[in-house]
Amino acid sequence: MTSTVSSPRITALVTRVVEVIRETADAHTLVLQPPAEHADSFRYRPGQFLTLRIPSDRDHDAARCYSLCSSPEQDEMLKVTIKRTRDGYASNWICDNVEAGHEIEVLKPAGTFVPSNLDSDFLLFAGGSGVTPVMSILKSALISGTGSITLIYANRDEQNVIFKDELVALTKAYPGRLTVIHWLESVQGIPDLASMTALAKPYAQREAFICGPGPFMDCIETVLQNLGADQSRVHIERFVSLDADPFAPVEALIQDAEGETAQVEVELDGKTSNVAWPAGNKLLDVLLNAGLDAPFSCREGACSACTCIVLEGEVEMERNEVLEPQDLEEGLILACQAKALSPKVKITYEG
């Protein structure tokens, strides 16, 4: 026999839009001002994203993940840039409706597309609006790091280059440290293995971050593999549209007669907690129902926001679309998809 209980609806954070910047004809940047009393909840690392709640006439609201293009090393306010996509409900709604003064519900910043050390030399690849998390990394590394940075940035044409003027200004402000290489399909054609290999070869041993359309990222990943890049230093950000509503209430199993209750020790936000983990539950649901502020976004195994590390014990995941084999070997799991296989599990979010 299995019984369930619903927790209260996920408590979203509310932030105010103070400015809308038109970057290109199809891309808008929202400048967001979090309330002062929740400033700590909006702390983020370069490369992370916000999950925005979008009103909808469907059974539940829509939700989309948008990368922060601002830098935590410099900007007082948060910025996300949204580019219209054909038949994209959320992107078109935002670009058509959101103005200064609007309030938007968001989940706290999340994601693992972040550098561990801003002093590294970086090779950054961006395609179209994939430049947004890359821009956050680039600015943060220039401001607080010491290394050299090369950005290879592909777009359809010059009119679609997001942050064009800002990149020019940064190149002038950091001569010798920042190199920006633009690739325009209208002039040079679609990026291919040969052309991208030629551009990447001088920098192939740097730590690499890649974000953009799927075919573009697949091409760059192959390029770096062929050039012998250390795959542990190659980071790829993949987003998918969310089917479920991450803002909806969480339902967790209370009792499952066919399984035993495990115990999980959790290191989160500098604190250690011990929580009962009934069989059949997913770890994220257990933690949220216990009142712990565990990070998450999609709750579908399609992003990396809820990633944590297993230190002891054994778990299994129902779904995984983002963690690579090397990640799994290092003990990384998606809390939203993990179920306990051993009576005691120890995990950390501090890695």
If one looks up domain 122-237 in CATH, what number appears?
A: 3.40.50.80
pLDDT, the chain, mean:
89
What CA–CA distance (Å, rounded) separates 314 from 45?
29
Angle between helices 164-173 and 131-144 (to 10 degrees): 20
pLDDT at 11 over 70: no
Q: How many helices (H) and strands (E) does the chain have?
A: 8, 20
CATH 3.40.190.10 is the classification of domain 253-348: no
What confidence tens digit (pLDDT) does each residue in 57-77 have?
A: 655 567 888 999 999 998 779
Give the list of residues 6+ apart from residue 229 with CB closer than 8 angstroms, or none: 204, 205, 208
pLDDT at 3 over 50: no
Angle between helices 193-200 and 214-226 (to 10 degrees): 60
Q: 5 pLDDT band (50/70/90 cuts)?
A: very low
What's the pLDDT at 152? Answer: 98
What CA–CA distance (Å, rounded) separates 239 from 33?
24
Q: Which residue has the higher pLDDT, 299 or 286?
A: 286
Task: Give the residue ranges of DSSP H helices in the chain.
Answer: 89-97, 131-144, 164-173, 185-188, 193-200, 214-226, 283-289, 325-329
pTM, 2 dp: 0.84
What ranges do the domains of the chain cover? Answer: 8-110, 122-237, 253-348
pLDDT at 7 over 60: no
What's the pLDDT at 242? Answer: 67
Q: Which residue has the higher pLDDT, 164 or 54?
A: 164
Q: What is the mean pLDDT of residues 332-351?
A: 92
What's the pLDDT at 9? Answer: 47
Q: What is the mean pLDDT of residues 319-332?
A: 86
Share of residues in the chain with pLDDT > 70 (%):
90
Share of residues in the chain with pLDDT > 90 (%):
67
Per CATH, 122-237 and 253-348 having the same topology is answered no
**Residue 274 φ/ψ region, left for φ over 0, alpha for ψ in the -120 to 50 degree band, beta for the rest:** beta
Q: 230 pLDDT band (50/70/90 cuts)?
A: very high
DSSP 8: P
Q: Which residue has the higher pLDDT, 65 or 19?
A: 19
In Å, how far are 54, 112, 116, 242, 292 from 347, measured between CA atoms?
33, 17, 20, 26, 13
CATH 3.40.718.10 is the classification of domain 8-110: no
Q: Which residue has the higher pLDDT, 37 or 249?
A: 37
pLDDT at 179 over 70: yes
What's the pLDDT at 8? Answer: 43
What's the pLDDT at 87? Answer: 80
Q: What is the mean pLDDT of residues 247-276?
A: 80
